[in-house]
Amino acid sequence: MKHRFGYCSIAVFVVGLAVPVAGHTRDLYEDARMAMVEEIEADVRQTSLALDKEALDPRVMDAMASVPRHRLVPDELLDVAYENRPLPIGHGQTISQPYIVAIMTDLLNITPASRVLEVGTGSGYQAAILAELAEQVYTIEIIEPLGMLARDNLEKLGYDNIEVRIGDGYHGWQEHAPFDAIVVTAAASHIPPPLIGQLKAGGRMIIPVGSRFMVQQLVLVAKDTEGNVTTRQILPVRFVPLTGSH
Partner 1 sequence: MAATGTAARLPYVSVALVSAAALGYEILLMRLFSIIQWHHFAYMMISLALLGYGASGTFIALTRDTLLKCFNPAYWLNLVLFGLSAVACYLAAQQIPFNPEEVLWDWRQPVHLLTIYLLLSLPFFFAANAIVLALTRYRQKISLIYAADLLGAGLGSLGIVLLLFIVFPDVALKIIGAVGIVAALIAARELRMPRWPWQGMALAGTVLLLALPARWLEPQVSPYKGLSQTLRIAGTQIIDRRASPLGVLTLLESTATPLRHAPGLSLFASAPIPDQLALFTDADALTAINHNPQQLPLDYLEQLTSALPYYLAKPARVLILGTGGGAGVQQALNHDVPLIDAVELNPQLIDLVRDDYGAWSGQLYRRAGVRVHIADARGFIRRSDQHYDLIQISPLDAFGASSAGLYVLNESYLYTVEALQDYLARIAPGGYLSLSRWIKLPPRDTLKLFATAVRSLEASGSTSPGKQLVLIRGWQTSTLLVKNGEFTPGEISALRAFCKARAFDLAWYPGMPASEANRVNILEQATFFQAARALTRHDDTFTNRYKFDINPATDNRPYFFHFFKWNVLPEILSLRGQGGLPLLEAGYLVLVATLVQALVISVIFILLPLVALRRQHDTPADISRIRVVVFFFAVGLAFLFMEIAFMQKFILFLHHPLYAMATVLATFLIFAGLGSAWTTRWQQRGEPLSRHAGKVVAAIALIGIAYTFLLGPLFDSLMSLPLAFRVLISILLLAPLAFYMGMPFPLGLARVGACSPALVPWAWGINGCASVLSAVMATLLAIQFGFTVVILSAVLLYLLAAWTFP
Binding site for partner 1 (CB under 8 A): 43, 46-47, 50, 83, 85-86, 88, 91-93, 97, 99, 142-144, 168, 170, 188-193, 196, 209-215, 217, 219, 221, 229-235, 237-244, 246
Tally the residues of the chain: 246
Q: Tell me, yes or no, if 114 is annotated catalytic.
A: no
Please answer whether residues 200 and 223 qualify as being in contact, where contact means their C-beta atoms are separated by less than 8 angstroms: yes
Count Cβ atoms within 10 A of the Cβ of residue 243 and give its class: 0-12 exposed, 13-18 middle, 19 or more buried.
Answer: exposed
Nearest to partner 1 of 20, 210 (CB atom)? 210
Residue 175 CA to residue 192 CA, distance in Å, equals 17
Rounded to a whole number of angstroms, the minimum distance from the CB of residue 157 to partner 1 is 25
Q: Can you spell out the DSSP letters for 83-108? A: SSS-EEEETTEEE--HHHHHHHHHHT
Closer Cβ to partner 1, 97 or 153, answer by number? 97
In the bound state with partner 1, the residue whose beta carbon lies nearer, of 9 and 217, is 217
Task: Give the helix/strand (H/E) hosting 138.
Answer: strand 136-141
Which is closer to partner 1, CB of 174 or CB of 211? 211
Q: Alpha-carbon distance 108 to 236, whole Å? A: 15
Collapsing DSSP to helix, strand or coil, 203 comes out as: strand
Give the residue among 208, 192, 211, 204 at the shortest CA–CA distance from 230.
Answer: 204
Q: Which of 48, 66, 96, 123 is catalytic?
A: 96
Q: What is the DSSP-derived secondary structure letter of residue 55? A: S
**Closest CB 88 distance from partner 1, rounded Å:** 7
Q: How far is the CB of 25 from partner 1 (least distance, A)?
A: 31
Q: Which residues are catalytic?
A: 96
